[in-house]
Structure 1
């Protein structure tokens, strides 16, 4: 329902009719053209139509998946299954029994779940409210991702591995991209591959950043380009330039979206045949561009949240028609057992915008590629290898997926028409003094940017500020120190230093004049107090990487009892800790950022590594409030409320260490 519009404004979808005495009117979930179109296609048997339509008219259930490495994910799963699931069975609300959560049988390792409950139940029922609080905390901590069930399928079929170069052509809002990043990091904190997330809309690109930043991956690059004309990415190795061909590409293309009508009520009002007909060419262009950027032996997934064959099988067939035996559809019938699906179709009807049935011979302005393949083509194309998921099969949205593999390529495949390159600007040469002597830094100007966009400027590892950090935190030589960058016009480390993977540094430096970069890098060092030995602290975002490379007395062993003190006290004094060994080490260390390493007693649970500010008389755990609450619940079973804060302790010490408050993450 939309808010009241002004009397002189054009009435828009969902707006209240002021002639209706101020009452809200419910949107009618019906569309005669949609029903006529899909009944004629006969994809849904007549006996199942009413159930299919009724499902499309009901609310989409809440689904989520548990993320992280195996130990971490299993710990979160165990908490959900032991502390929440038993309490959600046989729950009665207003005289009705509420369905308990069920796992998605086709998602690996029981890590994806579905809750078919309304917001009213979640808000008013005590047990469901507790589960909602658990989900919110774990989502904030990055341990859970809320995502529509069918949206999880395409990334699973891409089979991303840590060394893969991955492109997501139409990434916003980012749930599938997050899944790709998680796969990249599934067996390694420091994968050698990367994920490039692209979206054509600048605003949606920045929304994408908001969604993906919580994953803290130095192997992620967000860019802003029209996927139909995605530029070739240049890299340089040993003085030789070449172009990137990707191991994995996801083309989840713009579509008419009738698979989303359970959550997007606009579809009921706006759906018409012209939507699919108008998008067909754009969808094909994105798919064929992806195929040109795919390496031999690589895999590409084409997907839509539409059931319309003009947007699905017709696009796939046209690609197979144009590429011949250089590509093939992959048979995924043995993948994701438990997923109820239908095969792709090789025959369908085409209607024009006026709902008139058309043929190839009498097609008017409709493109020939919108029509079904010939009998001979159908035998060769194997469109039955495509996947169709209908809403009523397992109470989900609707989705279409096709998986391609590339059998061959020519130089022509990889070199295609590009948008014209900007004329390169003059370079800026800068000389900087270091302990090791003068270093000359050359910075090329990038593409013209909006006033609010920040540049990406790499700084040498011998920069005096970085050298302080390497020494202070005992960072070993296995950590690649040459991939640090800043995002300010001066190119100097003044407030934040970021780090990216080596492969992404190569891409950023080699494509400043041809790509529009939106986001890359995780925060490595953040400026803190200037009156201490090292004015930089290690940011929490980079700890999953840095914990493997710090050989320093500033990494202190800590017991779970001491951790509990840090979690429940805002600024515990040294006297609050009962561990004399820990207190002795804290007193010996200079003021600044340190790290506590907590070994868990259970071999099935993940060890912890957390940042702490070490003051002259007290310490402070530097994690966000939501992360504090998540750790309290996960480690100690202590429940908190949404607005609850850490309990203030030792006000004198808090005043003395007042500057430390700005270091809270």
Structure 2
């Protein structure tokens, strides 16, 4: 990888004055060498001598492209079949510049063959036609949430965490969100709506908003994103009527680390690596783990992980937690999990090397006791060999460390007292931190408000609506929403607390959490868009948003659901605003046209039965007086055309522009966006 000088945008005189030869001189190849790194890991002895050259060479090589097919969707195996049948054959026995290219391979340890690895360079992906097609396929499927491009070793922690649909889950350091996404998928893996939820936290406000962008495409009403320092994550009330606090079933502590396991994709690690980073982060990592253990319920499971190979950040942190918690926690033996994953065991002995690269002994000035390895007696009790180490050369991945911890409790009075003291001290530190933050956020002369945490100018409150609100009553009646649907969990995000443009829906369990913790949690995001306001001159001025359909289709009657055949569905994907008159002439689906003409104008739904072994389609349409429009975004349109009909589309354009009456605003027709169903689009649909 190369680095380039940063020329300011618009400084054309300076940039243009350089010829090609001078421009080339501005590129400096970063050397993937670091003698201290090499000596440290050679002396550590975690890599057998006969494997060292392979290990180092792999660390210097480009990281392969890996992706997984999201497992929470019914059509995951349909997407897998598309990849295996349409793309995989063209990627086998491929030559590039005289060299045989390895075909994609399954990650053998990932469940149901849903994760894949491409051991090819970016140059091959760009220049080879077959690999370029795969790249486009991945981009389209990723955009609609069917595929996640994720580093292979990053997929391990959520799998061994073993999230189930009823679990309360906390991801303490969630950004950028790929592991959080896996846990949300696990939550939604059963046919029934999950009763559990995921709390995704990140200490950095900007990264927490990036996290929202990554997770919104999963359309989960069982997610809340918050912004806290994980070391001082606040206790969460279960509801506002009691003083009971939540203990989580599952917690992921994927902590900040020095990241030398990422040196294949983060080339700066080579020049910046030193022992100081690991030593400095150790206390923060231990604080996060301790906080996670305090928030974990008895019988619950916590995964501690880093993308570092340094034992100071790994086994030393785990050993310190075991030392403090005694027999209330234990390490879980995962040797029978993830069959096919090549791994190494955790270690119980390591040197402590300071930033001057001098070896330190316990008790030396400037050292922290928990840096040092356990005693022989402790090592026998701790079972650090149950930790998982994955090295880059073992299966062409990044480096990773994973430990599974179970909170088992103890009948020992002494251990219980020690753990209780630890928890009390921890809660005191959290309360102190929160009071400091609240006080710092308020004006010096003003008292701190207790009812809610302060919000910045861009944040809106979470206000739940009365289920009997007149606007909601219209929706319940128009769409025939049954009594099994929890109508009390609809919310808006505006200071007035009134439904004006968007109404969101969140799960019942999260409603209690949100309402009970406005004075504790810095809420960033929760809920999926349920209803979006449309024109006011029709029977119901609200339409159901596509992202909420997987929930709502189980709770509405069939009054506004129309059956369509496969050919009609294909036509609706290809054409925008097809006229009923033209559809009748083509006889593409007479029953569909007849039923749509009987319905009043507004939001309706089509159901397409594709056969027993295939996923049926259930999607929203906008029903006009003379035409109909499938309300699917451009990315989903492209994906459906490719997956269901083998049609590749790079830019979606309608077959014909809808006619507009005088005074109608112009309608943007480049692809069919869900947001197209504003007033102007609907007027065009009615007048086309």
C-alpha change, 1:202 and 1:562, in structure 2 (3 Å) is same
Following superposition, the deviation at residue 649 of structure 1 comes to 2.0
TM-score of the superposed pair, with normalisation by structure 1: 0.92
Following superposition, the deviation at residue 22 of structure 1 comes to 3.6
TM-score of the superposed pair, with normalisation by structure 2: 0.89
Aligned partner of 1:664 in structure 2 is: 676
- 1:344-493 equivalent positions in 2, closer than 5 A: 344-361=346-363, 363-408=364-409, 416-417=427-428, 418=430, 419-421=433-435, 422=438, 445-493=451-499
- Alignment check: 8 A CA contact 2:170 2:248 kept: yes
C-alpha change, 1:608 and 1:128, in structure 2 (3 Å) is same
- Alignment check: 8 A CA contact 1:388 1:399 kept: yes
Gap runs ≥5 in structure 1: 8-17, 426-442
Select the structure that is richer in helix: 2
- Alignment check: 8 A CA contact 2:4 2:27 kept: no
Following superposition, the deviation at residue 241 of structure 1 comes to 2.8
Residue 642 of structure 2 is aligned to residue 639 of structure 1: no
Deviations 1:553-604 (CA, angstroms, capped at 9, x unpaired): 1111111111011001011111343211111111111110100011112x22
- 1:279-290 equivalent positions in 2, closer than 5 A: 279-290=281-292
Gap runs ≥5 in structure 2: 9-20, 411-415, 442-448, 669-673, 678-688
Cα distance in 2 between the residues matched to 1:284 and 1:638: 52
Deviates more, 1:128-137 or 1:516-525: 128-137
Cα distance in 2 between the residues matched to 1:506 and 1:549: 22
- Alignment check: 8 A CA contact 2:67 2:149 kept: yes
Aligned partner of 2:524 in structure 1 is: 518
Cα distance in 2 between the residues matched to 1:215 and 1:20: 44
Cα distance in 2 between the residues matched to 1:80 and 1:137: 13
- 1:247-266 equivalent positions in 2, closer than 5 A: 247-266=249-268
Following superposition, the deviation at residue 188 of structure 1 comes to 3.5
Please give the secondary structure, in 2, of the residue aligned with 1:596: strand
1:581 to 591, 606, 615: 591
Residue 187 of structure 2 is aligned to residue 180 of structure 1: no
Cα distance in 1 between the residues matched to 2:661 and 2:643: 27
- Alignment check: 8 A CA contact 2:71 2:114 kept: no
Cα distance in 1 between the residues matched to 2:71 and 2:653: 27
C-alpha change, 1:203 and 1:197, in structure 2 (3 Å) is same
Deviates more, 1:404-413 or 1:316-325: 404-413
Deviations 1:180-205 (CA, angstroms, capped at 9, x unpaired): 00000011452000000000011110
C-alpha change, 1:33 and 1:20, in structure 2 (3 Å) is farther
Please give the secondary structure, in 2, of the residue aligned with 1:78: helix
Deviations 1:370-425 (CA, angstroms, capped at 9, x unpaired): 111000000000000000000000000000000000011766676522234448x9
Cα distance in 1 between the residues matched to 2:632 and 2:573: 9
Deviations 1:195-229 (CA, angstroms, capped at 9, x unpaired): 00000011110111111010110100000000000
C-alpha change, 1:69 and 1:226, in structure 2 (3 Å) is closer
RMSD, aligned CA: 2.1
1:339 to 338, 341, 356: 341
- 1:9-408 equivalent positions in 2, closer than 5 A: 22-69=25-72, 71-188=74-191, 190-236=193-239, 239-361=241-363, 363-408=364-409
Cα distance in 2 between the residues matched to 1:19 and 1:123: 27
Please give the secondary structure, in 2, of the residue aligned with 1:248: strand
Following superposition, the deviation at residue 350 of structure 1 comes to 1.0
- Alignment check: 8 A CA contact 1:309 1:348 kept: yes
- Alignment check: 8 A CA contact 1:297 1:405 kept: yes
Aligned residue pairs total 632
Aligned partner of 2:655 in structure 1 is: 648
Cα distance in 2 between the residues matched to 1:209 and 1:381: 38
Cα distance in 1 between the residues matched to 2:3 and 2:28: 10
Cα distance in 2 between the residues matched to 1:67 and 1:95: 35
Cα distance in 2 between the residues matched to 1:149 and 1:512: 37
Cα distance in 2 between the residues matched to 1:5 and 1:542: 44
Cα distance in 1 between the residues matched to 2:31 and 2:582: 62
Following superposition, the deviation at residue 91 of structure 1 comes to 0.9
Cα distance in 2 between the residues matched to 1:364 and 1:182: 48
Cα distance in 1 between the residues matched to 2:292 and 2:147: 30
Cα distance in 1 between the residues matched to 2:478 and 2:156: 45
1:615 to 615, 619, 624: 624
Cα distance in 2 between the residues matched to 1:470 and 1:20: 65
Cα distance in 1 between the residues matched to 2:277 and 2:422: 30
- Alignment check: 8 A CA contact 1:327 1:407 kept: yes
Cα distance in 2 between the residues matched to 1:76 and 1:414: 47
